[in-house]
Amino acid sequence: MEIVLLYGGQSAEHEVSILTAQSIIRHINYEKYQVTPVYITHEGKWFCGAPITAAPQEDIRLDFDGTRATHSEEVNPSQVLCEGKIAFPALHGPNGEDGKIQGLFESLHIPYIGAGVLASAVGMDKIISKHLFQEAQIPQVPFTPLTIFDWKQERAKTLTRIEGKIVYPMFVKPANLGSSVGINRAENQEELIAAIEEAFRYDRRVLVEQGVDAREVEVAVLGNDKVETSVPGEILKSQKFYDYKEKYINNTVQLGIPADLPGEITDKIREYAKKAYLAIDSSGLTRVDFFVTYNNDIYINEVNTMPGFTQWSMYPLLWEATGKPYDQLLEELITLALERYETYRGLKNDQTENEAVSY
């Protein structure tokens, strides 16, 4: 079967996506699959490379000259997304992880790896997902959303509203981004204003959250209707906040896998991770992130429906520690994608037959 591996993309997480694609290419089972790499530029153009039919002897070059991937040709999506293929969107952030490209796969009737349209859109949107977690009764820190209209029209009133609900330190995040892009910590009003201005560079909606003195713990989730959770892992912090540069450029983040937590806290985190997964109607894969205070209070932070697969990414490392090595994890993701595709195709066929009988 041919896997169409999409990477790059139009979001600020473009470079992370390239690293994810390199890792996937190294671990695919080439006795069963071949990989067609498709690079998407910052401007949204698609470039298709030659099919990869064997594991590369060294790191495959997925670099580009600013307009196109090397050794590739520009294509239309329908030229590479057609019957008999399966899409692997190794794309992070808007236009890759937020349901847009998943909608394209659905329209073209192509099986694809990862969450569906709804779960992708909801999981990407930190504000909407928080409302769903609230409904699912998963504990969260105090938060307040704001729009660019609020900020431009009623800045003083908006600041008063935020400071009336949340105390410093606060974290300010664009509603629809990941990998810590556009996220900043604010210790006072001056820093809060600067953080909000920065976040509005990336989105028209922003989330302001209460900062907590806590450990950052993450759980990998896998499955469709039957859901599995991994052992929790911890980001071991030597500083208060790791931004995009520290995570992916300087690579200074240290991971503790499995996280050193009491058994009952581990069980509760895994239970909350499953509840969050089901709350957004996810499928395939998702990473669920939590804060755990030093009193062992648990708060959900966010979900990532297409977490990174770089060599230092938490998601595959969590599954490796749980007993699923990288190559087995990829195989299960492909199986889950085909399973979901066949399930929906069966439902559509039943619906057509019922309509025909009714008619």
What's 261-295 look like in SS3? CCHHHHHHHHHHHHHHHHHCCCCEEEEEEEEEECC
Does residue 215 have a known ligand-binding role? yes
Encoded tokens for 344: 């929906």
339 — alpha (psi -120 to 50), left (phi > 0) or beta?
alpha
Strands (E), the chain: 2-8, 34-40, 46-49, 72-75, 85-89, 143-147, 170-174, 184-186, 205-210, 214-223, 227-229, 233-236, 254-256, 284-293, 298-304
Give the Cα separation of 86 and 338 in Å (integer). 8
Does residue 173 have a known ligand-binding role? yes
Q: Is 143 helix (H, G, I), strand (E, B) or coil?
A: strand
Residue environment code for 343-356, b if the CB has 16+ CB neighbours within 10 A, otherwise e: eeeeeeeeeeeeee
Does residue 212 have a known ligand-binding role? yes
- Mode of pairing for the β-strands spanning 184-186 and 205-210: unpaired
Q: Which of 17, 120, 129, 313 is catalytic?
A: 313
Does residue 172 have a known ligand-binding role? yes
Of 192, 237, 226, 207, nearest in space to 124 by CA: 207
Does residue 209 have a known ligand-binding role? yes
Does residue 187 have a known ligand-binding role? no
Does residue 23 have a known ligand-binding role? no
Does residue 213 have a known ligand-binding role? yes
CB 208 within 8 Å of CB 197: no
Q: Which of 11, 13, 17, 234 is catalytic?
A: 13
Does residue 171 have a known ligand-binding role? yes
Give the Cα separation of 202 and 182 in Å (integer). 7
Q: Please say if 179 is a catalytic residue.
A: yes
Give the Cα separation of 95 and 118 in Å (integer). 14
Q: Which of 11, 120, 179, 230 is catalytic?
A: 179
Does residue 179 have a known ligand-binding role? yes
Does residue 80 have a known ligand-binding role? no
CB 231 within 8 Å of CB 281: no
Tell me the binding residues: 126, 171-173, 179-180, 209-216, 289, 301-302, 304
Tell me the binding residues for ATP: 126, 171-173, 179-180, 209-216, 301-302
Active site residues: 13, 179, 313
Tell me the binding residues for Mg(2+): 289, 302, 304
